[in-house]
């Protein structure tokens, strides 16, 4: 199962970027987009573009392209972003605040409805128009609000405790920004966000480029 | 070229996670790690683990495992993280502040040495122990400091202007957190960080799980 998922992972990661570009086009009144244009935008080959988009079940018309509106709907449907998911966020620090301020999430069907923190200076305040509650109320409020998704933005050494409270409150999907691997029951999904993953890609691109430059000398 | 890179992208993204786990093990005095243990930690199959690590040029000893210290060095060398890269960051808001506070970067060879912002209330202050300079000084200071890497944390509509200033200041690698595609000269590398990429993966995992649950009924 894990082996089956791997090849699609980059495609899934790229889908929001397609979605962003296609939404821009729709706003500009564009109805059809050709594969070469998407390839230039994504900085990928046309074969990769076609494979990526085939995952959503939509196929372009040869020599013409994809219908923008149809493709948007197919991507949103594949990602289940045509339904709104409500989430709570724990850790109202700078990262938590950045995520709550991220403009794209509403379009992607994610609504962060409340934040939790352990810091008395933050409890009772509002961050990005969300109330910050005492973390001791996490389990109770999550259960009452019937929220299924939780976002962890606390330091690594507090993340497991937060995850345990989330699970106790009925959370079934955790988006984990803490730099630690979480232990959760089998029926809970964790997506760990390793910010340094992008830095690794950039570093490899840079060192390869340096090699290329060297070999030209 | 683009097609060659794609299959390795998930591997490269995963390398920091291996590195994190291996560093923890080294701190705990562990000298050898077996493939099954890494497979459990990464939630991947053993074949994927072996393929991932083969990219760094290190092969495990059959029936024994990998030497922790050797593997750490190989990963760091592959990512060029054994050398320190200095970077400047533009946009000292919540995301910029979160990145400057990220503990892992120093270990990954990234040192953010200064921040820039257009907000008079921020200019001249310190954020996470870095001075915040007027964005109008970006080109001059970047050139003087001989920094090659820039991190963009400004809103999408300001990102292209910031990128242009970075390029004018001699920046050759841009880590772009703004939700926009940047136009840069061919000799400048851009790594666009789409935070919603992880959300897409989580969403697909969630909807697949729901399907699996449904089919059990």
DSSP string of B97-146, one letter each residue: HHHHT-THHHHTTEEEEEEEES-TTTTTSEETTEEEEEGGGHHHHHHHHT
* B2-78 CATH pick, 3.40.50.720, 3.40.50.1580, 1.10.10.10, 3.40.190.80: 1.10.10.10
pLDDT tens across B102-151, in order?
Answer: 877 888 889 999 999 999 999 999 999 999 999 999 999 999 999 999 99
Tokens of B54: 């083969």
At residue A181, the pLDDT reads: 87
Q: Which helix (H) or strand (E) holds A202?
A: helix A196-216
- Chain B residue numbers touching A201 (CB-CB < 8 A): 9, 12-13, 191
Long-range pairs for A188-192 at CB < 8 Å and ≥24 separation?
A189/B202, A189/B205, A189/B206, A189/B209, A190/A163, A191/B198, A191/B199, A191/B201, A191/B202, A191/B205, A192/B17
Residue tagged 């290329």 (tokens): A212
Where in chain A is CATH 1.10.10.10?
2-78
Assess whether pLDDT exceeds 60 at residue B214. Answer: no
Contact (Cβ atoms closer than 8 angstroms) between residue B9 and residue B59: no
Contact (Cβ atoms closer than 8 angstroms) between residue B84 and residue B101: no
Maximum average pLDDT range among A125-139, A189-203, B8-22: A125-139
Nearest residue, CB atoms, B20 vs list A6, A79, A179: A179
Shortest distance, CA B206 to any CA of chain A (angstroms): 7
Asked if A200 lies within 8 A of B98 by C-beta distance, the reply is no
**pLDDT, greater one: B84 or A29:** A29
Q: What percent of chain A has pLDDT over 70?
A: 93
Please indicate if any CB of chain B lies within 8 Å of the CB of A125: no
In which band, very low, low, confident or very high, does the pLDDT at B6 lie, cut at 50, 70 and 90?
very low
Mean pLDDT for A89-96 is 95
Cα angle value B73/B75/B77 (rounded, 5°) = 65
Asked if A80 lies within 8 A of B206 by C-beta distance, the reply is yes
At residue A103, the pLDDT reads: 75
- Chain B residue numbers touching A173 (CB-CB < 8 A): 202, 205-206
Asked if B48 lies within 8 A of A191 by C-beta distance, the reply is no
At a CB cut-off of 8 Å and minimum separation 6, what does B204 contact?
A: A12, A78, A79, A80
Nearest residue, CB atoms, A191 vs list B94, B102, B205: B205
Shortest distance, CA B193 to any CA of chain A (angstroms): 7
- Beta strand ranges found along chain B (DSSP E): 32-33, 66-67, 85-90, 110-117, 126-127, 130-134, 149-152, 173-176, 189-192
At residue B217, the pLDDT reads: 29
Q: What share of chain A is helix, strand, coil (3-state, %, to 5)?
A: 50, 20, 30
Assess whether pLDDT exceeds 50 at residue B211. Answer: no
Q: Is A118 annotated as a binding residue?
A: no
At residue A209, the pLDDT reads: 55
Size of interface A-B (CB pairs under 8 A): 184
Contact (Cβ atoms closer than 8 angstroms) between residue B114 and residue B138: no
Shortest distance, CA B17 to any CA of chain A (angstroms): 7
Assess whether pLDDT exceeds 50 at residue A2. Answer: no
Minimum Cα–Cα distance from A199: chain B residue:
B175
How many Cβ atoms sit within 10 Å of the Cβ of residue A189?
A: 19
The domain made up of A85-196 has a fold known as Rossmann fold (3.40.50)
pLDDT tens across B30-74, in order?
Answer: 999 999 999 988 888 999 999 999 999 998 888 899 999 999 999
Neighbour-count burial of A139, counting CB atoms closer than 10 A to its CB (0-12 exposed, 13-18 middle, 19+ buried):
middle
Where in chain B is CATH 3.40.50.720?
85-196
Tokens of A76: 């949103």
pLDDT tens across B46-58, in order?
Answer: 999 999 999 999 9
Asked if B197 lies within 8 A of A109 by C-beta distance, the reply is no
Interface of A with B in 59-98 (CB under 8 A): 78-81, 85, 93-95, 97-98
Of B26, B117, B35, nearest to B73 (Cα)? B26
User: What gap in Å lies between CA B201 and CA A109, rounded to an integer?
Assistant: 14
At residue A29, the pLDDT reads: 97
């Amino acid at each position: 199962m894990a082996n089956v998922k791997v090849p699609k992972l980059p495609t899934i990661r790229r889908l929001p970027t397609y979605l962003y570009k296609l939404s821009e086009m729709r706003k500009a009144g564009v109805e059809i987009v050709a594969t070469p244009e998407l390839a230039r935008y994504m900085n990928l080959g046309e074969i990769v573009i076609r494979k990526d988009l085939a995952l959503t079940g939509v196929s372009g018309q040869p020599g013409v392209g994809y219908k923008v509106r149809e493709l948007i709907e197919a991507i949103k449907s594949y990602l289940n972003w045509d339904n709104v998911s409500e989430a709570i966020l724990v850790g109202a620090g700078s990262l938590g605040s950045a995520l709550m301020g991220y403009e794209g999430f509403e379009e992607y069907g994610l609504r962060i409805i409340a934040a939790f923190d352990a810091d008395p200076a933050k409890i009772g305040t509002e961050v990005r128009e969300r109330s910050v509650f005492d973390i001791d109320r996490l389990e109770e409020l999550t259960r009452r609000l019937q929220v299924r998704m939780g976002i962890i933005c606390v330091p690594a050494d507090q993340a497991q405790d937060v995850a345990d409270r989330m699970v106790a409150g009925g959370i079934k999907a955790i988006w984990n920004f803490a730099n630690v691997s979480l232990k959760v029951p089998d029926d809970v999904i964790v997506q760990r966000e390793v910010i340094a993953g992008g830095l690794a890609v950039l570093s490899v691109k840079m060192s390869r480029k340096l090699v290329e430059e060297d070999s030209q000398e």
